[in-house]
């Protein structure tokens, strides 16, 4: 068996310790060039970590023979399943101190396999960490502590098929282990698409998106994967939960909404009926620049409170705009995109541009008319930079930089003060922790009539050898600022283990009681993703 | 204290046993005229029931003096809180066999009152039935059985204020006991509206809408009250749950989504921050008639799968169209409405009409251009009939007819067969139960890219004196048909007690375990709305 199944049409190798493909990693020279932008980074990149250097012990348990064919103790596989892909994970790998290596990795191929593995784990005190693409940036797929006898990483990526398509209802039954490109490839011949394109698209699965309530393609209206769920199939230690395929229902609290965002603590999502889209044929996009970020915020709010519903409505602050190549003159840049499978969208773009201009935005009419509606240079620059960003982060990590990205959401009355406070206080915390000046950039990724989701990137040269501690210090301040502004600890990255302190402050106490009770009922042996969300 | 606070600007009297205002009830002659449409109805209307004729016993408990000012044992108040306003409730009242009369009615004025009342009830084995406008049509606000020492109806309508408005984030903090007109009246001076207009608008509260996941104004996209919730405040016996005001979040399963649809079984919703709308200034509406209902279904599906997002998209089958006066020639009628606060909507209506015509619809261009976009005669006829419908139902009940309305939702691949099966099988069941032919009409109230919400009205002359049993027989068949088609037991009327059999079949078993566990944690004495949803 193999845990490194290459994506369809590729034979590229995934990195066990860093983001994405090995061949896309910045080389040493690029790492140094990036580091030059951050005073205080290392003069020589840290070496690329090797599995052979890890202290990988013998598994503490042996699966029964009936399950042996599903399970491997291969060191490479175990190392690749030890952590997600947060900065914190990458930094630990670079310093030779990864998280606890799981004893075993399982690759179930059907629901019965999952049930059997959960039964065995429950009976033998084996913690089970559901694992999709492994792209968690919140410590969602590792084991911390030593309360269990052994740890099993449950890799769902062998369950990656589109099982059924209902073209009439524009929906499909899809196995949870399908990576983004794998499921889209199967939908394409039917002229349909899930159209969920998180930054991690290539390296994350449907099940991961569902379990973490991932943010997706649309900047407005249907911003989360939640909105596209028709029904879920979830294997819990207490039985299998299959909700009916329904376009909507008012029958009690939504069963699906309990499992959405449950991050593997209540059960293992193995498949879902998902609502699909037709591929858009009408597209129009443009960028608008603003000299004043606060007026740009007002413009975005006005667009969000209209009924124009842009598919893309990303506001980059001057630092983000500079980094992504969207602007280099200190402007903020609003990237707007409209799309439709059924009607022209030029008028909607024109209306949005009118709103932006009325708030001081400088629109670029030429871009708007660029071929195939691909948008202009700022739009393209932004998109390329977006996909490249995690690789750059890892390159910076190799020169000892500390990079933290976190996202949140808050109501509009709070957004400006929140952004100011993050810039000021998190910047100061980074300086205090390292003695080096930090960059703190912000963009709005998703917007709503009642608020917005700011996404922050903090970068600073770390204390050599102590990068994880620096990250923890910065994170604590960021968490405190979010809490003080009643801004959510996560809009779409999930809670995992890294966000638990913030989540515990945010979650209403009676809901915590209810969630713990649900957990106790569904996972009585407490083997599912221990330490995440609750308990 | 009074439990019959008239609506602002009115001094009209609410009926204790039937729908709405006493002065709007059909008189005897009207009842007979309606009954003439259903062969086999009574020749003389049943008399209007009187509270004085009820057997109202002394309350089995006395509240402590500290709570006495919140509680009444007045017979009129107790009778008015004995049941909701389902046909089943009206028929029981007309036959002098209402549900169990609560021992006491409480009218808390603040959260602390609610907490104190719940504490007292928990300590004294008193069942608590949260009560908003009392318009439940699913047995959601009555007590059945005798497992508790006494029954307290908890009427929230004294908590009816808009407490705060955040115009920037277009949202407001509103107490849960506010009836529709009461909250809209308070929002109007701010140019804002919740724009939630269920059929029960005048006689239902924000808290009731939230607890039952009510369907609202919009036929597409944001169809349920759920979508407009920013945060909830819920008093549970285990403490008060206050979620943060957030435009969106990915932090664990949504706390609000556990309480939305919990129908008073997990706690008492006392206030919510709600997302508001600006009042629409652009409106356009039209009706389209179809000689072929199945082609009309195709047209509606195509509109639902476009991105035109009509605010109104109601398809009336020939029977519905006839009854509401929208058509009298056997046509089905599609009522379309578009609205916006920010942009013209004529183009969207034109596009929707194009789609409808391409499926054989006959649009009426004159209506579309009627003054103020109010729509034409079919649109107006439909709206008047819609609001009058529950009064008509009660009039029919007085001449011994059995009237059942139920709504559901299913994916498009199932919708045509579902509607056929309901017409055939429920019609046959009504005939079998009564010996009289039944009318079974259908309309689509809300539509989605992946399915639709059909709403059925069944009317037949009952077995005199045995109307409730007839209703139960018809309901059992309806429930079976919905279950066989995997159509939800309710799209927006809630589960209550009447839908429990269907809900129990639909709800995934592990979710039932989780819900029961949550209930046990939050309501350890099991006093909250016993018999609803679970347990």
Domain final residue, candidates B236, B262, B278: B278
Q: CATH no. for residue B377?
A: 3.30.70.3450
Burial class of residue B270 (count of CB atoms within 10 Å of its CB; 0-12, 13-18, 19+): buried
How far apart (Å, rounded) are the C-alpha atoms in residues B514 and A517? 7
SS3 B41: coil
CB contact under 8 A, B246 and A451: yes
Residue A4: its pLDDT value, please?
A: 41
Give how many domains chain B has, as a whole number. Answer: 2
Model pLDDT, residue B365:
57
Q: Do A435 and A315 share a domain, yes or no?
A: yes
Query: Do the Cβ atoms of A250 and B494 come within 8 Å?
Result: yes
Q: Does residue A484 belong to any structural domain of this protein?
A: yes
Note the pLDDT of residue A376. 58
Q: In percent, how much of chain B has pLDDT > 90?
A: 92
- Which residue, B278, B305, B322, sits at the end of a domain? B278
Tell me, yes or no, whether A233 and A92 share the same domain: yes
Whether residues B248 and B302 share a domain: the answer is no
Residue A52 lies in a domain: no
Residues A69 and A82 in one domain: yes
| Cβ-defined contact of A252 to B246 (cutoff 8 Å) | no
Higher-pLDDT residue of A512, B3: A512
**The pLDDT of residue A30:** 96
Query: Quick check: A417 contacting B, CB < 8 Å?
Result: no
CB–CB contact A488 B267 (8 Å): no
User: A75 pLDDT exceeds 60?
Assistant: yes
Q: B184 and B210: one domain?
A: yes
Dist CA B466 CA B435 (whole Å)? 13
Q: Among this protein's residues, is B143 annotated catalytic?
A: no
- Shared-domain flag, residues B357 and B287: yes
Number of H helices, E strands in chain B: 18, 19
Quote the minimal CA–CA distance from B183 to chain A in Å: 19
The whole-number pLDDT of residue A369 equals 44
Residue B385: pLDDT over 90: no
Tell whether B253 and B330 lie within a shared domain.
no
**Can you tell me the mean pLDDT for A470-495?**
98
As a whole number, the mean pLDDT across chain A is: 94
The residue-averaged pLDDT of B150-171 equals: 98
Query: Is B250–A261 a contact, with Cβ atoms under 8 angstroms apart?
Result: yes
Indicate whether B198 and B292 sit together in one domain.
no
The CB density around residue A53, as the number of other CB atoms within 10 Å, is 10
Provide the pLDDT for residue A10.
62
Contact A148, A59 (CB under 8 A): no
Interface membership of B294 toward A (CB under 8 Å): no
| H, E, C per residue of B85-126 | CCHHHHHHHHCCCCCECCCEEECCCCHHHHHHHHHHHHHCCE
Domain with A340 in it: what CATH number?
Answer: 3.40.462.40
**pLDDT value of residue B132:** 98
Q: Identify the domain boundary among B218, B243, B278.
A: B278
Confidence of residue A367 (pLDDT cuts 50, 70, 90): low
CB contacts of B246 in chain A (<8 Å) are 409-411, 451, 486-488
Question: Is residue A263 less than 8 Å (CB to CB) from chain B?
Answer: yes
For residue A111, what pLDDT band results from cuts at 50, 70 and 90?
A: very high
Instruction: Count CB pairs under 8 A between chains A and B.
Output: 296
Same domain, A476 and A516: no
Task: Report the distance separating Cα A406 and Cα A389, nearest Å.
Answer: 14
User: Has A427 been labeled as part of a binding site?
Assistant: no
Same domain, B244 and B341: no
Query: How far does CA A165 lie from the centroid of its chain?
Result: 27
For residue A382, the model assigns a pLDDT of 73
How many Cα atoms occupy the beta-carbon half-sphere of A502 within 13 Å?
Answer: 33
Q: What predicted TM-score, i.e. pTM, was given to this entire model?
A: 0.96
pLDDT at A119 over 70: yes
- Indicate the pLDDT class of residue B373, thresholds 50, 70 and 90: very low
What is the C-alpha separation between B531 and A232, in angstroms, rounded?
27
| Mean pLDDT for the stretch of residues A316-322 | 95
The edge-to-edge listing of strands for the beta sheet with A104-106 is A71-72, A104-106, A150-155, A126-131
Q: Determine the pLDDT at residue A371.
A: 41
With CA atoms as reference, the chain A residue closest to B215 would be A250
Which chain B residue's Cα is nearest to A167? B413
pLDDT-derived band at B381 (thresholds 50, 70, 90) equals confident
Within a domain: A10: no
Report whether pLDDT(B476) > 60.
yes
Around A468, how many Cα atoms within 13 Å sit in the side-chain half-sphere?
16
pLDDT score of B374: 42
Query: Average pLDDT in the B1-14 region?
Result: 59
Q: Convert the pLDDT of each residue in B272-328 to its tens digit.
A: 999 999 999 999 999 999 999 999 999 999 999 999 999 999 999 999 999 888 999
What is residue A363's predicted lDDT score, i.e. its pLDDT?
Answer: 82
3-state secondary structure A367-424: HHCCHHHCCCHHHHHHHHHHHHHHHHHHHHHHCCEEEEEEECCEECCCHHHHHHHHHH
Q: Is B166 on the interface with A (CB under 8 A)?
A: yes
Is a pLDDT exceeding 80 seen at residue A139? yes
Nearest to B425 by CA among B468, B487, B382, B467: B487
Tens of pLDDT, residues B50-102: 999 999 999 999 999 999 999 999 999 999 999 999 999 999 999 999 989 99
**Percentage of residues of chain A with pLDDT beyond 90:** 92
CB-based contact A491 B262, cutoff 8 Å: no
Looking from the CA of A56 toward its CB, the CA atoms found within 13 Å total: 19
**Which residues 481-520 on chain A approach chain B with CB closer than 8 angstroms?**
486-495, 499, 503, 506-511, 513-518, 520
Q: Indicate the average pLDDT of chain B.
A: 94
Annotated catalytic residue, options A87, A143, A455, A503? A455
Residue of A nearest to B214 (CA): A250
pLDDT digits (tens, 9 = 90+) for A334-350: 999 999 999 999 999 99
Query: What does the pLDDT read at residue B371?
Result: 40
| pLDDT value at residue B367 | 52
Does B50 carry a binding-site annotation? no
C-alpha to C-alpha distance for A424 and A439, rounded to whole angstroms: 11
Task: Judge whether residue A365 has pLDDT over 60.
Answer: no
CA distance A3 to B358: 51
Q: Which of residues 442-481 of A touch B (CB under 8 A)?
A: 446, 448-453
In a domain, A5, yes or no: no
Per-residue pLDDT for A392 more than 90?
yes
Phi, psi values for residue A424, rounded to 5°: -70, -55
From the candidates A253, A496, A497, which should be mutated to test the interface with B, based on the most B CB atoms within 10 A? A253
Lookup: tokens for B179: 């009836």
Query: What are the structure tokens assigned to B488, written together?
Result: 């939800």
**What interface predicted TM-score (ipTM) does this complex get?**
0.96
Alpha carbon B471 to its chain's center: 18
The answer to whether residue B195 is domain-embedded is yes
Task: Supply the pLDDT for residue A403.
Answer: 97
B262: CATH? 3.30.465.10
Q: Check whether B379 has a pLDDT greater than 80.
A: no
pLDDT of res. B3: 40
From A243's Cα to the closest Cα of chain B, the distance in A is 6
- Does residue A501 have a pLDDT over 70? yes
State yes or no: pLDDT of A523 exceeds 60.
yes
Q: In this structure, are A230 and A266 located in the same domain?
A: yes
Please tell me which of the candidates B230, B241, B510 has its beta carbon nearest to residue A450.
B230
pLDDT band for position A240 (cuts 50, 70, 90): very high
Q: What are the tens digits of pLDDT across the range B496-515?
A: 999 999 999 999 999 999 99
Domain carrying residue B239:
162-278
Residue B308 lies in a domain: yes
For an interface test with A, give the residue of B194, B252, B490 to mutate (most A CBs within 10 A): B252
pLDDT tier at A380 (50, 70, 90 boundaries)? confident
Residue B499 is assigned to a structural domain of this protein: no
Q: Is B274 on the interface with A (CB under 8 A)?
A: no
Specify whether B263 is located in the same domain as B182: yes
Least CB–CB distance from B488: residue in A212, A251, A516:
A251
CA nearest B405: which of B446, B460, B448? B460
The answer to whether residue A373 scores a pLDDT higher than 50 is: no
| Antiparallel, parallel or unpaired: β A439-448 and A312-316 | antiparallel
Q: Is B136 annotated as a binding residue?
A: yes
B532, part of any domain: no
| B3 marked among binding-site residues | no
Quote the pLDDT of residue A3.
Answer: 40
Q: What's the confidence (pLDDT) of residue B5?
A: 44
Mean pLDDT value across residues A480-497: 98
């Amino acid at each position: 068996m193999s845990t490194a199944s290459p994506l369809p049409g590729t034979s590229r190798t995934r990195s066990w310790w860093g983001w994405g493909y090995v061949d896309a990693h910045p080389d040493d020279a690029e790492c140094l060039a990036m580091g030059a932008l951050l005073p205080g980074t290392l003069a020589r990149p840290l070496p690329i970590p090797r599995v052979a250097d890890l202290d990988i012990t013998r598994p503490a348990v042996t699966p029964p023979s009936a399950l042996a064919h599903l399970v491997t103790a291969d060191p490479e596989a175990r190392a690749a399943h030890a952590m997600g892909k947060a900065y914190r994970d990458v930094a630990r790998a670079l310093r030779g101190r990864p998280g606890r290596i799981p004893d075993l990795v399982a690759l179930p191929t059907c629901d019965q396999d999952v049930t059997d593995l959960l039964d065995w784990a429950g009976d033998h005190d084996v913690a089970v960490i559901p694992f999709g693409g492994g792209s968690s940036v919140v410590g969602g797929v590792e084991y911390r502590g030593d309360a269990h006898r052994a740890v099993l990483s449950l890799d769902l990526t062998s369950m990656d098929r589109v099982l059924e398509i209902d073209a009439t209802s524009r929906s499909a039954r899809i196995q949870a282990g399908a990576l983004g490109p794998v499921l889209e490839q199967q939908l394409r011949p039917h002229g349909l698409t899930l159209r969920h394109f998180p930054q991690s698209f290539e390296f994350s699965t449907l099940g991961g998106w569902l379990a973490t309530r991932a943010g997706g393609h649309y900047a407005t209206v249907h911003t989360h994967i939640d909105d596209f769920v028709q029904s879920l199939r979830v294997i819990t230690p207490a039985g299998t939960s299959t909700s009916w395929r329904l376009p909507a229902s008012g029958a009690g609290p939504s069963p699906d909404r309990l499992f959405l965002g449950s991050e593997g603590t209540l059960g293992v999502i193995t498949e879902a009926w998902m609502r699909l889209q037709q591929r858009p044929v009408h597209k129009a996009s443009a960028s608008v620049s603003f000299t004043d970020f606060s007026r740009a915020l007002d413009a975005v709010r006005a667009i969000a409170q209209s009924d124009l519903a842009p598919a893309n409505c990303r506001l980059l602050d001057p630092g983000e705009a500079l980094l992504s190549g969207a602007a280099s003159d200190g402007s903020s840049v609003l990237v707007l995109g409209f799309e439709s499978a059924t009607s022209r969208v030029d008028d909607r773009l024109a209306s949005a541009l009118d709103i932006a201009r009325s708030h001081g935005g400088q629109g670029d009419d030429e871009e708007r008319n660029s071929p195939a509606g691909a948008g202009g240079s700022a739009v393209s620059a932004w998109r390329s930079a977006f996909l490249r960003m995690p690789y750059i982060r890892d390159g910076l990590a190799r020169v000892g930089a500390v990079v933290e990205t976190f996202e949140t959401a808050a109501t509009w009355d709070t957004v400006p003060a929140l952004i100011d406070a993050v810039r000021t206080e998190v910047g100061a915390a980074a300086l205090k922790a390292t003695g080096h000046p930090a960059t703190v950039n912000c963009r709005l990724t998703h917007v709503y009539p009642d608020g917005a989701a700011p996404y922050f990137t903090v970068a600073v040269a770390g204390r050599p050898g102590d990068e994880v501690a620096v990250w923890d210090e910065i994170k604590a301040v960021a968490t405190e600022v979010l809490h003080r502004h009643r801004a959510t600890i996560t809009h779409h990255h999930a809670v995992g283990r890294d966000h638990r302190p913030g989540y515990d402050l945010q979650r209403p106490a009676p809901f915590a009681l209810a969630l713990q009770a649900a957990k106790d009922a569904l996972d009585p042996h407490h083997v599912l993703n221990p330490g995440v969300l609750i308990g």
